[in-house]
Structures are given as C-alpha cells and as structure tokens.
Amino acid sequence: MATSISEIALTPAAAARVATIAERQNKPAILRLSVEGGGCSGFQYKFGLADAPADDDMVAQTDGVRLVVDSISLDLVRGAQVDYVESLGGAAFQVKNPNAASGCGCGTSFSV
C-alpha cells in the first residue's frame, strides 16, 4: 500500500504542469520520480507519468496531483522539492535535493 509522506514536495508550478501533461495524454495526474545510476555526476533523476502508485511508493500531493517515489529512490531524494522552471534556456522539472553533494550544470544528475 502506498504511503503518504511529507518528506518530498511538489511545488504548485510542477503540479500544474503535470496536470496539463496528464490531461493531454488522458492519464492520471501522477508524476513518478526515480533515481538511476548514471549521468555525469553519478545518479540521475528520471521523470514519467504513472498510471497508479505502486505498493512500496511514497506519495506527496499538491493541488490534486500526486508525486510518487519508490522506497529505494526516496533515500536519495528525501527532503527534496520538485519544481517546474521556465527560463530562456527552456523549461524542465527541477529537483532541489538537499542530499546532493554536487550536481551537473544541466541539473539532471547529482552525487551524494
């Protein structure tokens, strides 16, 4: 059974973007954040829409949109905030991770 948490947060801007994408794809407004080995700094963030939370997922909710994180990835992103940022360089989901000792310039990978 998925567990609700406050150990990770989804900003209102990120929630609005997920809702828009999910509506266009006719999917539930559930964003999955996971961490994989690789990237230029050691670990990389992976985002995707999920159909439903898995049994071992931790769930955070903002404005009716859910952010789900598996229990293994949660150890690397606990306390983080997922935001959606638009700038001259483009638009992207961004993770503000207090556990990251360093990161790459593009913000998609980190080390602990």
User: In this structure, is residue 74 part of a structural domain?
Assistant: yes
Instruction: Give the number of domains in the chain.
Output: 1
Q: What is the pLDDT of residues 58-111, one digit of tens each?
A: 999 999 999 999 999 998 899 999 999 998 878 889 999 887 765 555 455 444
User: In this structure, is residue 106 part of a structural domain?
Assistant: no
User: In this structure, is residue 18 part of a structural domain?
Assistant: yes
The model carries a pTM of 0.82
Report the CATH number that the domain containing residue 44 is assigned in CATH.
2.60.300.12
User: In this structure, is residue 44 part of a structural domain?
Assistant: yes
Q: What is the pLDDT of residues 26-60, one digit of tens each?
A: 999 999 999 988 766 678 889 999 999 999 999 99
User: In this structure, is residue 2 part of a structural domain?
Assistant: no
Domain that holds residue 68: 9-96
Give dist(CA 102, CA 65) in Å, integer.
Answer: 29
The pLDDT of residue 7: 82
